[in-house]
Chain A
Amino acid sequence: MSGKYQTVIGVEIHVELTTKTKLFCSCAVDFEAKPNTRTCPVCLAMPGTLPVLNAKALEYGIRAGLALNCQISERSIFERKNYFYPDLPKGFQDSQLHQPLSHDGYVEINTNGGKKRIRIHRAHIEGDTARLLHTGEGEIDESLTSFVDFNRSCMPLIEIVTYPDMRSVEEMRAYYETVKSIMQYIEVSDCDMEKGQFRIEANVSLRAVDNPEITTERTEIKNLNSIRYATRAVEYEIKRHTKALESGRTLTMETRLFDVNKGVTRAMRSKEEAHDYRYFPEPDLVPVEPDRDWVEEIRRNLPELPDARRQRFMDEYDLPEHDATLLVSDKKLADYYESCVKSYSNPKTVSNWVLNELLALLSNARQNIDECKITPEHFAGMMKLVDDGTISGKIAKTVYEEMFNTAKMADVIVKEKGLLQIADEAEIARIVEQVMAENPGPVQDYRDGKKKAMGFLIGQVMKATKGKANPQLVNKIFGEKL
C-alpha cells in the first residue's frame, strides 16, 4: 500500500430478513418460490392498497440495531423515496432517512494491526424492490428483455451504513465477515449472498496522507454479488483513484457498476438521472415508537454474540485466538463444537479434530455443518478407542472419515475393517526385526548417526502393519534393537 495515499472506504450492507411474511403485507417470504407466486395487491402496488407494518420485522430490526451497539430511536418514521424503475411498483420505496430505527453504533473487527472499531451511522428498515432478470448475458446493457419477479417486492430489509472508517480492502472484508456473523448469530437472516440475502455496496475515495484536503470525490460501487467481487472492485477503484490523484484530478461523485467479466468498474447508465429522491414522511404509516420495556426485553434475549463467544472459548477452553476465531465464525459450527466438548471434555482435542479434519471433509463433500453425520456421541466413542489404545491416532483419522461418510459408530468401523492397533510387543518385535533385516543400509545409516533413517524404518513397520502398529511400542523396540 502506497504510503502517499490513504484509502477511505464506507460500506452499505442490505440484509434480507427471514420473517415469515413481508414487510407490509402477509405474503410469505420464500426464497425458493417460482417467480410472481408470492404476491398480492399490496406488494404489486395495485390502486387503493395500503402498507401495514410487520411487527416481527420491527423486532428483528431492533435486535439487529442492539447487536450492532446502536441506539434504538424513541421515534422513527418511514419516508417515501421517490423514483421510477420497473422493479419499484409504487414508484417510491418505503425507507427511513431522517429518523432511522437505530443509529450510532459500532462493530469491532480484527485486522493484522489488531482490533479496530468501525462506527455504524445507522441501521434502518426498508422494503425491498422486485428482482430484475435480464435475458442474454445477464447484464442490463446486452439484453433486449428484462423480467420482473415481484416475489421480492416489499420483503423486509435492514440497511446498515457505516461511517467511512475503513482504510483497506482487508478491513472491508473483516467488517463484512463480522457483520455477517452477527446477523447469523441473532438469527434475523440466513445471509446467503448468492440468494441475494446479504448485499454489499462500497463507497471509495482516496486522499493524500500528508494533506487530507487533497481527496478524490467518492465513488459508490454497486452490483457486487460476492465479497470476492467487492474486493476486486474496490482494488480496481483504488487504482483508478490513485491514477486520478497522481494526475491532479479529483474525479466526480458517481455511481459505478462492477463488470465481473472485464474486472473493471464503469459508470452506470442513467438508472435515474437525478438523485433527487424527494423524500417525505410516509403518510400511510404511523410513526414507530417502540415500547422501551420491549426494547430491553429484546436486548436481554440477545444470544451470545461472536466476539463474546470467541473470548469465552479462549478463556474457558484455553484455545488460541486463531482457533477460537475460526470456530465462532459460523454459529452452527460453534454450537457443534460445544456439544462435542460436552461429550468429550478435552476442548483442545475437539478443536483440532474439528478444524483440521472436519472442515476439510465438509468442504470436499459440499456439506453444511448441520448435515454432518458425526454426532458428539460418534466423536466421543472414537476418542475412547484412541485413549485406551485400541487404535492409534493415525488410524483414528481413517475411522473419522469413515464415520463422516457412513454414520457408523467407531467401534463398528474398527471391527469391520480390522483396524485394531497392534500392541503385542512380541508381534511388533518380530516385524521390527524383519524390517531391519530387509533394510541393512538404513540401519547402518542410523547407527552411523543419521537420525533421520529412523523415520524411514518406522515407516516400513507401519507399512507392513497397515498402520496398525502402536507407534510408542515401535519406537521403544527400535530403541532397544538399534
Chain B
Amino acid sequence: MDLCHLTAHEIHDLLVKREVSAVEVAESVFQQIDNVEEKIHSYITLTREDALAKAAEVDSKIKAGEEIPPLAGVPIAIKDNMCTNGVLTTCGSKILCNYVPPYDATVVRKLKEQDAVIVGKANMDEFAMGASTETSHYGVTRNPWDTSAVPGGSSGGPATATIAGEAICALGSDTGGSIRQPASLCGVVGLKPTYGRVSRNGIVAFASSLDQVGTFTKDVADCALMLNAIGGKDEMDSTSVDIPVPDYTKSLINDVKGIRIGVPKEYFVEEGTDPEVTEKVRNAVKVLEKLGAICEEVSLPHTDYGIADYQIISAAEASANLARFDGTRYGYKAEDADSVTQLYKRTRSEGFGAEVKRRIMLGTYVLSAGFYDAYYLKAQKVRTLIKNDFDQAFKRFDVLVTPTSPTPAFKIGEKMDDPLTMYLSDIFTVNCNMAGVPGMSIPCGFSSAGLPIGLQIMAKPFAEEMIFRVAYTFEQNTEHHLKRPKISDE
C-alpha cells in the first residue's frame, strides 16, 4: 500500500525502524495530491516546501538517534479556519482572501511541537456554516467515494484529505456536527471532544459556546494520538478546562463486556432517515451486544428542539463573532467607499457569501430588543433541558449510540436551494454540542450505492476514554475502517 494510505501509528513504526523516511512519506502524500486533488479539491492552500523541509528535519533527528514523538513526520491537513503563522487562512471566505495570521493557533503550535508535517489548509464551508462544503468561496469539495456527491461539512476538506490519502489525518472543527457528519459521509473516524477539552485559541470563532477543535483519522488509534497531542488547558482560552490529559492510547481496549450502551429512541424515527442508515446502525448495536455490551433503549425527550435551538444560539453568537470583519484592519476591503458606514456595508456585502449573511441577519434578529426574550433567552433555557437529558441518561449508561447522519452523502447541489433541509443534516449531531459532551463518528457500513455510513458514540463530559474503548472494540471486530475509496482514474 502506498505510504499515503497508512495510519500515523503505522508510519511512526516505519520511521522508527528506519524502513521509510519522513521525506518519502511526505512525497507520497504530495504525489497523491497531484493525482486526485483536481477531482476532490480538498485544499485551499498547500505548503509543500515547508512540509518537505520539516520532513527532512525529522529525518535528521532520526538519523542522529533522537527519539521522535508519535506524530513526528506525519503529514496533517489543517482546516482553513485555524490560524497558521505566515500561511494564508481564509475560512473558506472571500472576506479573508488575503489574510495571513501573525500567530499559530494553539493546536497548530502543539502539532508543530511534535514535528508534525503540515500539508496545507483544507477547504470548508464558509466560516464553518454548512453541512456540505458547497459554500466555500474557493470551490466545492467532492466526496472521494462518489465525486458527484458532497463530502459533508463544514469540515469537508479535512475529511476528504484523510480518506483520499492527501493527508494521513487532519484537524477540523465541530460546532453542530461539522466533524462528525463529514466523517460519517467520508468513512473516517471523526471526534468532537468535550467542550473545553481542547483550546479554541486561534480558531476563527463561529459560535463560541459550541465550537470545538477535533480530529479526522482513518482509525481510532490515530485519533487517540491526535487527542493526546492537542488536548489540555490553555492560558489563552478561558473556556478550556484544567483537567489533566490522560494517555488516550491506554483506552484502546478491545473489550466492552458489561459496558452499558443507551440507544436513544428519538434518533431512530423513520421520517427523514434513510432506512439503510437505520439498518447499519442497528446492526452495529447488535455487534456490540454480541461482544458483551448491555444495550437498552433510552429517551432524550428534548431531542427534537435541538435544531431550532442550535440555529438560534449559533446564529446569535456568530452575528457578534463576525462583526469584526469590516475591511479596516485585515482582509478584503471594498473599493471607493466614501464613508465608514459605506465601507462596512460594501465590504461585508461583497465579502460574505449568502449563507453567512443569512445567519448574521438571523442572529442579529434573535438578539434584538423585543425578541431577545422570546428567542435567545428561551433558546438558552431549552439548551439546559437538552443538557439535562444527557446528564440523566449518563447516570444509567456509559455511552449513547446513534446514527451520525440521517442519510449517506447526498448529491452536490441537491440541498443548496433549501437551507432548512440542509440544516436538518445536523439533526443527530447538534445536541452533542448543545450539551458540551464528546462525540465520535466511526464507519459502520456502506449503503447499497457504496457510500459510507457512520455510527455516533457519545459519552459524558471528559469521558473520551469510554468512547475510545467502545469505538476501538467495534473497529477491531469489523472491517469497515479498512476500506478505501477508488477515486476514478487514480
Contacts and interface: CB of A to CB of B under 8 A. Distances in A.
Contacts of B317: 280, 283
A48 B204 contact: yes
A431 B319 CA distance: 92
B293 to A, nearest CB: 36
Contact of B238 (A90, A148, A285): A285
B209 A47 contact: no
Contacts of B236: 50, 52
B341 to A, nearest CB: 8
A91 B201 CA distance: 19
A283 B203 CA distance: 15
Contacts of A90: 320, 323-324
A284 B239 contact: yes
Contacts of B316: 280
Contacts of B203: 48
Given A84-B344, A91-B320, A278-B372, A50 B367 contact: no
Contact of B320 (A47, A48, A80, A286): A80
B263 interface: no
A107 interface: no
B91 interface: yes
Nearest to B239: A284
Interface in B278-324: 316-317, 319-320, 322-324
Contact of A91 (B102, B202, B204, B324): B324
Contacts of B83: 47-48
Contact of A280 (B96, B238, B372): B372
Interface in A141-190: 148
Interface stretch (B22-30, B178-186, B326-334, B456-464): B326-334
Contacts of B376: 280
Contact of A82 (B91, B235, B323, B326): B323
A46 B102 CA distance: 9
Interface in B208-225: 208-209
B369 to A, nearest CB: 5
Contacts of B328: 86, 89, 148
Contact of B329 (A51, A52, A89, A283): A89
B202 A278 contact: no
Interface in A264-280: 276, 278, 280
A48 B239 contact: no
B249 interface: no
Contacts of B239: 50, 283-284, 286
Given A90-B323, A92-B320, A46 B367 contact: no
SS of B interface (majority): loop
Nearest to A47: B204
Interface string A278-299: 1010011110000000000000
A80 B368 CA distance: 13
A53 B238 contact: yes
Interface residues of B, number: 44
B345 to A, nearest CB: 10
Interface in A47-103: 47-53, 80, 82, 84, 86, 89-92
A351 to B, nearest CB: 51
B323 A46 contact: no
B213 to A, nearest CB: 11
B89 interface: yes
Contacts of A148: 328
A283 B238 contact: no
Residue of A41, A89, A91 with most partner-chain B CB within 10 A: A91
Contacts of A359: none
A454 interface: no
B273 interface: no
B104 to A, nearest CB: 10
Contacts of A47: 83, 89, 91, 96, 99, 101, 204-205, 324-325, 330
Interface in B50-90: 81-83, 89
A45 interface: yes
Given A47-B99, A52-B235, A283 B105 contact: no
Nearest to B324: A45
Nearest to A276: B369
Given A283-B208, A283-B209, A283-B317, A49 B201 contact: yes
B103 to A, nearest CB: 6
Contacts of B82: 48
B383 to A, nearest CB: 12
A80 B322 CA distance: 13
A286 B368 contact: no
B214 to A, nearest CB: 16
B397 to A, nearest CB: 29
A44 interface: yes
Closest 3 CB pairs of A and B: A91-B323, A278-B367, A283-B208
22 contacts: A41-B102, A46-B103, A46-B330, A47-B89, A47-B99, A47-B325, A50-B200, A52-B236, A52-B237, A52-B238, A53-B238, A82-B323, A84-B326, A86-B340, A89-B328, A90-B323, A276-B368, A280-B320, A283-B208, A284-B205, A284-B208, A284-B239
Interface of B: 81-83, 89, 91, 96, 99, 101-103, 105, 200-205, 208-209, 235-239, 316-317, 319-320, 322-326, 328-330, 340, 344, 364, 367-369, 372, 376
Interface of A: 41, 44-53, 80, 82, 84, 86, 89-92, 148, 276, 278, 280, 283-286
Given A52-B237, A84-B326, 17 more contacts: A41-B101, A46-B101, A47-B83, A47-B89, A47-B205, A47-B324, A47-B325, A47-B330, A48-B201, A48-B202, A49-B202, A50-B236, A82-B320, A86-B328, A92-B320, A276-B368, A280-B320
